[in-house]
Structure 1
Amino acid sequence: MGKKVTIRDIARESGVSTTTVSRLLNHVEGYCSKDTEQRVWAAIKRLNYHPSKIARSLVTQKTNLIGVIFPDIYNSFFQDLFRGVEEYASSLGYQLILCNTDGDSKKERDYLLNLAENLTDGIIISTSNGKDDNTTIVDLHKKGFPIVTVERYGKELKDVPRILFANREAEERVVDYLYRSGHRRIAYISGPSNAVNANRRQEGFRNGLSKNGLSVDDSLILTGDYKLESGQACMRRLLDKCGCSNGKKPDFTAVMAGNDLMAIGAVREIFEQGLKIPDDISVVGCDGTMLADLIRPRIGTIRLGGIEMGKKAAEYLISEIGSEDTDEKKIIFQPELHLDGRIKTIKE
């Protein structure tokens, strides 16, 4: 391996000072003639010089790096979210550092502090899928560090740019659709009880039942953790309650889950117990990821628009990095129901 070319080699080759080369590399104008500029760039090309991003960041005070903090990179929604952030940010010359917290608040705080300390130009952080601690986020924002949150809640975040989803409205609209399709007994598998978005989705489900004159049966509402295995375990408990293991048909005709992963877990258990979808049980998830389309028969889902949310989060953040004022501090994405042809119609 040959000797690494340095800025001193470029200066020596082109007959200028290292300061002149540095200013040209960092696009500082007005310090040399066009002839000198051409000589320097020719030397850079001839010696195949690649400038150090670390050294450049010391001059520009920018790293062109964005930190992204998620709780579960195995979750397809966060994969969509990341893709949206990457598509928008990369088009403007930014690169991403992805951090996975596994819902651990200490890991989340450590990532926030480390990324904010001269490593990135800004951070996008999503919900932790549990009890969110927004203290560090608010502290960083007050110090002027660019940060955008996705699906995090709390009055303390009122001045922080936020991307949110209409969780209550989404689940309420699904209940409306199921009711119009003849369903009167609907089960629900909720996300973690300490996650605000999970509670809002369950509230939407309960509101939908009441609005349509259906009683809320708490025995049909179970709590999972947004992971596939919990969806299957909850579905097993629901089916055991109505004696399906003894060959009986379930006394409910549809099940809604707080996300697509838990819905897929429910599907697995339904199949293992010899039941059919949607003939015996119609299944609806929430996220709108490819999972709902890959499984056969396809299940219903609510499209959150993860890619679009990611793009908007990146747009917000890069505006913050550039000290541009944004008209809105909060954007709420509306649900898109994918239910047609996936839900059984029950005729009275």
Structure 2
Amino acid sequence: MELPLDYMTLRVIWWGLVGVLLIGFAIMDGFDMGVAALLPFVAKNDSERRTVINTVGATWEGNQVWFILGGGAIFAAWPFVYAVSFSGFYLAMFLVLTALILRPVGFKYRSKRPGKAWRRNWDWALFAGGFIPALVFGVAIGNVLQGAPFSFDSDLRATYHDMFLGGLLGLFSPFTVLCGLTSVAMLVLQGSTWLGLKLEKGIVRERALRFGLFAALGVILLFAAGYVFIRFSGLGFTVVGSVNSGAPSNPIHTEVVPAAGAWLNNFAKYPWMWAAPVLGFVGPLIAIAGQRLRSDWLAFSGSSLAIVGIIGTVGCSMFPIILPSTVDAHSSLLVWNASSSHLTLFIMLLVTLVFLPIVLFYTAWVYKVLFGRIKTEDLRTNPDLY
């Protein structure tokens, strides 16, 4: 059957769509994680902590839809990527999911008892539910950039070659920790700007904005440090020879090898890609300006642009590589060799064109209805608050 879009075009579209979903997750669920990571530091007593928790209390469940959409899109559009990453990084994924489970349990159970120890312990559980995923997601991106030790056999069965503690300790290196800290700073900035939007004027809001200023500076410095590391460490991979972008998916028919500084080559080849790293630096500056000008929406917009720029920089620098292998040149996953079939991508695109606008419209409507600043007096008068 002749389809309106060729295989190569569909692969590029789905590469972009997965990036959009990951950015959506980082922006929407990112401020949930950022608020949770800030909770023990910006709120000093029970009423302050309840106020901070309720800034995300009405929307955190809906925000996790982006996480499900992103994971589902990777599973359906890039099955090789899903198989290698989710099985090879099993314990890291388990750690993230455990932390994410702590967050809803913390929301629901924290205020069930009045005891100080009970509530303090759940506050730290909420902190873990925000900080740990933010850190591990960044470490995971660092491992994607430096490659993973996996290979395929002739039957396309994947083998992960570093299974000490499930490969968990092997995930951490100076570069991946740098990426993890960048992720934490980025999401803490997102959380602080959200608190600026949702909290009434007062000491808690001022503390959040102060942390946001340091987080914004941290994003700039850590993002710059990542560039310096890649520039002078020679980190990067490149595709050897030509690849048939319209051929059926089969990783073992391509060759990808380490190449010093290759992650920077696309920016010379496609100058428009510089828009991503520029946003990565300009976004935090806009957030700082918004905080100084007491423009909460400007600060939140700047923080969100920083997320777009940083995640976009990773995707643009690696294209068309998705996940390089460090142990087998013929096992790396590319946009051209790791996707689902032509027909599957086309059908999924039609479904996405119908349902993604519905998700976006419904999300916008929910935020419009539920939006408003959380006030201390609401804790006494609103029985629906945590």
* TM-score under structure 1 length normalisation: 0.25
Which of the two has higher C-alpha Rg? 1
Quick check: which one's strand share is greater? Answer: 1
Quick check: which one's helix share is greater? Answer: 2
* TM-score under structure 2 length normalisation: 0.23
Higher RCO, 1 or 2 (CA under 8 Å, sep at least 6)? 2
